[in-house]
Amino acid sequence: MLRLAEIGLFLSPLLIFLLWRFLSPRVRPAMLWAAMALVLGLAGTAMRYGLKERMEPDTHYVPARIEGGKIIDGHAAPP
Per-residue pLDDT of 16-68, as tens digits, reads 888 887 777 676 778 778 888 988 998 888 888 888 888 888 899 999 999 99
Distances (CA, A) of 30 to 25, 63, 71: 14, 47, 50
What was the pLDDT predicted at 8?
78
Of residues 45 and 3, the one with the higher pLDDT is 45
Q: What is the pTM of this model?
A: 0.49
- Are 76 and 59 in contact by the 8 Å Cβ rule? The answer is yes
